[in-house]
Amino acid sequence: MVVAAGLVVGVYALMLPLHHSTATNSEILEPQDTSYSIPAEQFNGIAFDISTTSVVNGTFYNTYGITLYTMTPAQFETFSKTGVVSGYNWTSGRIANNTITNLNIEVPPGAWELAFVNSNLLVATSIGFYSNLTLAPA
């Protein structure tokens, strides 16, 4: 069991986000009709830096379940290296498979990562955006 746990941590330590974009206030984080797959036990991150309290809005679907987090860059870096979520500002909790999700996340000023995490051990999940994923001042 210890060897298996070490392998999982080792896999997380070697992986990088598969899809990573950066934005600032009043921008599109992901355009409508964007879609991508997140392999089992992998994640995607969207970085943004805001000077005022802002809101992330948009509608997306996923095929096999996902969890979203807003994290500071340090929290995201730790997660990227260890595969363990040790801190976050907000989480969606587990979003079930084949679910359409409407986001309306208020985020305080600072640098942030919006992490889409597939914690499924065996199955990739697809993410698709029905609307633009936007960032705008609150």
Q: What's residue 7's pLDDT? A: 35
| DSSP designation for 11 | H
Q: Looking up tokens 């979203």, which residue turns up?
A: 68
- pTM score, two decimals? 0.81
Q: What's residue 18's pLDDT? A: 47
Q: What's residue 106's pLDDT? A: 97
The per-residue DSSP string of 38-91 comes to E-TT-EEEEEEEESS-EEEEEEEEESS-EEEEEE-HHHHHHHHHHS-----SEE
Statement: 2-137 belongs to CATH 3.40.50.20:
no
In whole angstroms, what is the distance from residue 100 CA to residue 63 CA? 9
Q: Looking up tokens 């089992």, which residue turns up?
A: 40
The stretches in the chain having pLDDT less than 70 are 1-26
Enumerate the domain spans of the chain: 2-137
Q: What's residue 24's pLDDT? A: 53
